[in-house]
Amino acid sequence: MLFYKKLNVKNFDLIRDELERATTDEVSKSLRFWDVPFNWFKDNSPLLYEFIESHKKMPIRLCRFYLTPKQNVLIPHIDGLTNNRSPIGLNIPIIGYENTTMDWYDCPDDNLIDGNYGFNKITASIVIDFTKLRQIDTTIIDCPTFVRTDIVHGIKNYNSSLRLVLSIRFSYTATFGKQFEDVMNIAEL
């Protein structure tokens, strides 16, 4: 299984600059996360908006910025519940990503518990016993990267500064939208 796929996006440095300027006020509030509607990007990051619009195959269901404090972690978890996992996200690094890893883990099914454990008490599955995890892959999200979020994963920010990433989530069904190529034309990227 492929846990991530890095994309070669034209003008990514300009996209990142647009996103950094557009999020300055929210970052100064030190929020751990916040959501924006996809149309927000039309005015605030038109280059990203055009890139997504010209490549997407499925509707956007969520656009969320995640802020990881310096020298901090986002503990291993699964997005969604064990019987209805949110399969993939397109993560776009904005600041503080250089020394930050996203890690995936093998985890026995009986080592997960469902509940309102996510940000803002949204449903998520969390790990019961971290000693039963076995790391199976890792990467630095240093460019737009599709990531599996239906596999136990976590973030480690080793930086002395905060990390900001945008995660774009696409609609999915029981049979479609669970592979990177299902949601976006990425063959040439």
Tokens linked to 132: 């039963």
pLDDT by 10-residue block (mean), the chain, 189 residues: 94 97 94 95 98 95 94 89 84 95 96 83 86 98 95 94 95 85 90
What pLDDT is stored for residue 137 in this prediction?
98
Domains of the chain from N-terminus onward: 4-172 (2.60.120.620)
Three state DSSP letters for the chain: CCCEEECCCCCHHHHHHHHHHHCHHHHHCCCCEEECCCCHHHHHCHHHHHHHHHHECCCEEEEEEEEECCCEEEEEEEEEECCEECCEEEEEEEECCCCEEEEEEECCHHHEEEECCCHHHCCEEEECCHHHCEEEEEECCCCCEEEECCCCEEEEECCCCCEEEEEEEECCCCCCCCCHHHHECCCCC
- The pLDDT tens digits for 93-138 are 999 999 899 999 999 989 999 888 777 777 778 899 999 999 999 9
Q: What is the pLDDT of residue 132?
A: 98
Whether residue 89 contacts residue 168, with contact meaning beta carbons closer than 8 Å, is answered with yes
